[in-house]
Chains A and B, each alone.
Chain A
Amino acid sequence: DTGVSQNPRHKITKRGQNVTFRCDPISEHNRLYWYRQTLGQGPEFLTYFQNEAQLEKSRLLSDRFSAERPKGSFSTLEIQRTEQGDSAMYLCASSGGSRDSYEQYFGPGTRLTVT
């Protein structure tokens, strides 16, 4: 298994544009998490999926943000009408499987810069 992957690794966009990020979790993991990390801070929880169901959304996730996990496999995070305050690293993590079902494995992140 190659671990959690995220694409793209970097995204530069102009304010007002829409962006979409993709996360591919470890294949046998049924839980998937999105976090946001701003410069000099620790990651903050955004949302959680169990299989295809989105079970929790942080208040950080405004109505410009939407996340999906069709068929319980990969997930996408879309930001509409981006703002400069959206500039951050977006991290995906997954957990589940048989070994340690609650340990979260993180991807390398997508760094978003809004100009």
Chain B
Amino acid sequence: GNSVTQMEGPVTLSEEAFLTINCTYTATGYPSLFWYVQYPGEGLQLLLKATKADDKGSNKGFEATYRKETTSFHLEKGSVQVSDSAVYFCALSSISGGYNKLIFGAGTRLAVHP
């Protein structure tokens, strides 16, 4: 079945450091890939997405590239800020029967200190 594996946290970085959170997936067909972010006390927010191979999703300085050959969708940011501290979830979905069910990884907690 479909699944998502992402690196375990917590990831602790200093402000302005480079961030990578690894995500790999197993899926049949051609899923769409997502990164969601969950700030403390808030709901999940879509951070970025990519719907086909070689697409790059980007938002708020974060980016991820859909790599079909390595089944990966790693999240990167060149210079993190304290406000980026949150839990990040990688997810996939495939549209079937007119809807898409999201399958999430376990999440990676990021802590950025000044």
Which residues of A does B touch, CB under 8 Å? 4, 31, 33, 35, 40-45, 48, 50, 55-56, 91, 93, 95, 102-109
Contact = CB atoms under 8 A, between A and B. Distances in A.
What's the dominant secondary structure at chain A's contact region?
strand
A91 B89 CA distance: 14
Chain B interface size range: 20 to 34
Contact of A107 (B43, B100, B101, B106): B43
Contacts of A104: 46, 100, 102
Contacts, number: 59
B21 to A, nearest CB: 13
A56 to B, nearest CB: 7
Given A55-B99, A56-B101, A104-B100, 18 more contacts: A31-B99, A33-B102, A40-B107, A42-B89, A42-B91, A42-B106, A45-B102, A50-B99, A56-B97, A91-B43, A93-B102, A102-B95, A102-B99, A102-B100, A104-B102, A105-B46, A107-B43, A108-B42
Contacts of A102: 32, 93, 95, 99-100
A105 B24 CA distance: 23
26 contacts: A33-B102, A35-B102, A41-B106, A42-B4, A42-B89, A42-B105, A42-B107, A43-B44, A43-B89, A43-B102, A43-B104, A48-B99, A48-B101, A50-B99, A55-B97, A55-B99, A56-B97, A56-B99, A102-B32, A102-B95, A103-B46, A104-B102, A106-B36, A106-B44, A108-B41, A109-B43
Nearest to A49: B99
B103 A41 contact: no
A27 to B, nearest CB: 17
A91 B99 contact: no
Nearest to B101: A45
